Amino acid sequence: MKARITAVVAATVLSAIVTPSFAGDAAAASAKKMFLLKDGGTLYVFKDGKMALEDKFGRAIHLKEGQSLETVDGQKITANGNEVARLDFLLRQGHSGG
């Protein structure tokens, strides 16, 4: 009985660790480029040239047209578009398994 409980707890912990890694797969597959930002977020550049911003907590957030963003290597990128709805949909796809 104790071994069964331990196995269930271990499976639960492992699934909690692995699941977030799949959350952004749909978004990453749809993006032409991704940039890691200095603030911990990620900028997605889609094939049509429009951009979307994910904060360090994995949420799609509003991006102002022309907003300047800085990558971890110091590169400055000017925002083009605000595809918050597209990114939110893609991020949720990863969580729902769809």
When divided into structural domains, the chain yields a total of: 1
Per-residue pLDDT of the chain (98 residues; tens, 9 = 90+): 666 666 555 555 454 444 444 445 888 888 999 999 999 999 999 999 999 999 999 999 999 999 999 999 999 999 999 999 999 999 988 655 44
| Residue 6 in domain | no
| Residue 39 in domain | yes
| Residue 4 in domain | no
| Residue 69 in domain | yes
| Residue 7 in domain | no
pTM of this prediction? 0.71
| Residue 64 in domain | yes
DSSP assignment of the chain, as one string?
-HHHHHHHHHHHHHHHHHHHHHHTHHHHHHEEEEEEBTTS-EEEEETTS-EEEE-TTS-EE---TT-EEEBTTS-EEE-----HHHHHHHHHHHHHT-
| Residue 5 in domain | no
| Residue 3 in domain | no
Containing structural domain, residue 71 = 17-96
